[in-house]
Copies of this chain bind each other. A is one copy, B any other.
Amino acid sequence: MRAKLIESVPNISEGRRRNVIDAIAQAAQGEGRHVLDVDSDADHNRSVITIVGEPTAVAIGIDRLVEEAVARIDLTKHHGEHPRMGAVDVIPFIPVHNVSMKDCITLSRQVGKKIADKYKIPVYLYEESATNETRQNLATIRKGEFEGFFEKIKDPEWKPDFGTAKVHPTAGATAVGARQFLVAYNINLATADLITAKKIAAAIRGSSGGLPYVKALAFTLEERNIVQISMNLTNLKKTPILRVFEVVKNEAEHHGISVLDSEIVGMVPREALYAVASTVLRTEQFSRASVLEDRIEDALRNKH
């Protein structure tokens, strides 16, 4: 791919009404962008919509999506397990091809300003776009949720980055920001012992002495009667997926527990899989030039 390509993964506060979810996802479709995936969770009452495309086209798609979501979601009537502060709760922009993190930060500011101006929704810049350290963490911004935000926003510390200090009566507030591609990665263990699983999650989690760029929780998978280490990997270049797998595998073995299998939730960049293969095979000289399909695609591209 020669074109500039970004991903945006808006999270909307609706995971039950199929027609509403479809209408909002459909609104994001259009020239130069593609809705790749819509992942809805009824318990969380939340949907994660994956859009990829050319940066300007994705920004237009996000605007349409916000318009539709504001029209159809009323947070005063919304209940779900997942914390939320907005009808469109969070909008991350992620560089994919030929786009820098800086480009995505710039785009997030443009989109954030537009949402505040056009829909009167207060906007907080988060992660790489954050204007101060406290706002890097989405969970910190969101604390208090929709219901608590009417008070929280009066605190000068929580003055929004765009818009006035006034929560939208039905659509709440929205976090917008740039971030690295995030891989949701789960490892399933051959045990039902949740206490040990929590120890293993703590051992891999960056914030408690494990690997940086790894967020981890332990869950029970009722239907399989096993436990799962559920992770977000936020920087695959610095903390690659294979290292994460091996640390979890080793930690589990110290408790006499085997790794059953693992799963990539959503998507992983191709380069991350090439990196696993070349690390295991010890192919120091490996590059895309060694991959048949990549060479063919490059040859086809250079012809045009």
Chain A residues within 8 Å of B, Cβ to Cβ: 1, 5, 7, 34, 36-37, 52, 96, 181, 241-242, 245, 259-264, 266-270, 273-274, 276-278, 280-286, 290-297, 299-300, 303
Contacts and interface: CB of A to CB of B under 8 A. Distances in A.
B270 A282 contact: no
Given A286-B264, A290-B264, A281 B52 contact: no
B52 A280 contact: no
A1 B262 contact: no
Nearest to A266: B290
Given A264-B286, A276-B276, A299-B34, A294 B270 contact: yes
B242 A296 contact: no
B293 A269 contact: yes
B261 A282 contact: yes
Contacts of A281: 241-242, 245, 262, 276
Contact of A5 (B34, B36, B181, B296): B296
A136 B266 CA distance: 45
B241 A261 contact: no
Nearest to A261: B282
Contacts of A294: 270
The 4 closest A-B pairs by CB, nearest first: A276-B277, A273-B277, A34-B299, A267-B292
B267 A291 contact: yes
B261 A296 contact: no
Nearest to A294: B270
Contacts of A280: 242, 245, 276, 280
A270 B270 CA distance: 10
A293 B270 contact: yes
A261 B283 contact: yes
A292 B273 CA distance: 11
Contacts of A181: 292
A58 B241 CA distance: 40
Nearest to A265: B290
Contacts of A293: 1, 269-270
A245 B295 CA distance: 24
Contact of A269 (B274, B282, B292): B292
